[in-house]
Chain A
């Protein structure tokens, strides 16, 4: 039995079964204070199930779990009083105003009316929603609703913030604004747990992350560590005419590793340009070529043989 951790979240052999579905099949997680920690994985990997157990709204099926040094099974309400949750699907009050959404929510944490009023004013500014405070939520854009969801989760000054797919479905501009807000929170020392199936999001935001697949953790580390451990520095992407079989055998001689995707080949090497030059030299003429840095997508492909987002 592990001792009480000084970390904010500590899971050992954490499991979640729903009927015959084994959503989470025994994971160990440690999240330290001030850290931004990511669960990266495709849909159905078990990220959200893990998140719901940590958020104290889903009883675990096995293993141990401590959040803020307490057991969610025993002290759920006490833990929830000190965390913030941004759900995957917005659950704002569509028929209340932007400000009322914050005030009503704050009251649930036992705050006085005066305190929630002051807090709402502060959070509206942080979310850049001050000029919309009197409007109903329904006509707001997706990005605005998401920002409101995030600041609503901050109303109780949480020590730990849980964000489930925070930017799914948002346009690039809205995503960058959100990332900026999350970065500011990190600088203020708010510990964050983020699930995402976007590699760029994980690389942007997370100090450390676990890659999940099929309810298990398949790798753990910082984004740079994971790329260093499971991929090469660079990747060459080659496209060939659809009718021709691509020259896989010849190319394999040139690189550390090669992945065949339906529409292209991925060549893993320290120096992409050198590989490209060598391929030209032996007479290989792809339709198009691209040299890029390795990303977490490549790590995921290496670890699971599948891509994160299709």
Chain B
């Protein structure tokens, strides 16, 4: 018999019964089984809301946007909707990310308690967390495809660059979903906590991260706040890809920011899931 140091907080995994990749895929399959029955409830977020935003800003607000001057400088003469569309796509993806990584995670621990069921199988706590996050990424990607399909008749899509925008939006959403998930594992009163998250983080971010107007229209001292948000980095990438105006080093910077946030968030998710499920 081996002597094992039991002072650490989480069990080590020397010999998994299913591989990590397999475990993550199985967790995704679990959520997919749920989604197949319950996808109708997500239509509001992925179809109705995009339509409302497109009508309000792409058709309505666009009338006030002077189709020359500064806009021409930004888009090279393309209409406002082409400039707006990839940013709206990114914003919608971020909203889905925030919603999917908040209440459903609390439910997994507190209400339906499915994480406890999953970790009674060979799947580990960390794999359950990463699996759920991967599912959220799939949800964002598929919602994004629907969003792009909606953008086309509005004249919001210029060329195939939108596919890169979609990937950038999904990366941005995942990079934000990971820390929100870690946050969701520690909140005790989820109502006020998520209310504050939506009101004081999500909404300001959607308003001031360059979705509707360029960040340099803001006062100098406010701009760093916008630069600090994942949405600004995601929007810059998505828009650059859609307009074909990506530049190497800024793009590397945006990518690096989002990847670091995603990796740190994923490490936090794994640590928090272990702490919560292996007590």
Minimal Cβ-Cβ distance residue in A for B107: A94
Given contacts A93-B112, A93-B114, A96-B33, contact A59 B17 (CB under 8 A): no
| Contact status B120-A85, CB under 8 Å | yes
Q: What count of chain B residues pass the 8 Å CB interface test?
A: 40
* CB atoms of B116 and A91 under 8 A apart: yes
- Contact A59–B30 (Cβ < 8 Å): no
Q: Is the CB of B121 closer than 8 A to any CB of chain A?
A: yes
CA distance A62 to B6 in the complex (A): 7
- Shortest Cβ distance from B121 into A: residue: A108
Chain A's interface size range is 35 or more
Closest approach, in angstroms, between the C-beta of A208 and any C-beta of chain B? 24
Known A-B contacts A61-B6, A104-B33; the reply to A109 vs B121 at CB < 8 A is yes
User: B30 contacts A104, CB within 8 Å?
Assistant: yes
Q: Smallest distance from the beta carbon of A26 to chain B beta carbons, Å?
A: 14
A residues near B124, Cβ cutoff 8 Å? 76-77
Q: Which of these, B6, B120, B279, contacts A87 with CB under 8 Å?
A: B120
- The verdict on B158 contacting chain A, using a C-beta distance below 8 Å, is no
Partner-contacting stretch, out of B7-15, B143-151, B255-263? B7-15
What is the bound-complex CA distance between A78 and B34, given in angstroms?
27
Complex interface: chain A residues within 8 A of B3 (CB):
1
- Say whether B61 faces chain A, with CB atoms less than 8 Å apart: no
| In the complex, per-residue mask of A49-85: 1 if CB is within 8 Å of any chain B CB, else 0 | 0001001111111101010000111111110110001
Instruction: Give bound CA distance, A93 to B118, whole Å.
Output: 11
Q: How far is the CA of A57 from the CA of B122 in the complex (A)?
A: 11
**Which one of B23, B37, B118, B278 contacts A58 once the chains associate, using CB atoms below 8 Å?**
B278
Partner of B279, one of A58, A93, A107: A58
Contact residues of A with B, CB < 8 Å?
Answer: 1-4, 18, 52, 55-62, 64, 66, 71-78, 80-81, 85, 87, 89-97, 100, 103-105, 107-110, 152-153, 156
Q: Which residues of B contact A (CB under 8 A)?
A: 1-4, 6, 8-18, 22-23, 26, 29-30, 33-34, 37-38, 112-114, 116-124, 277-279
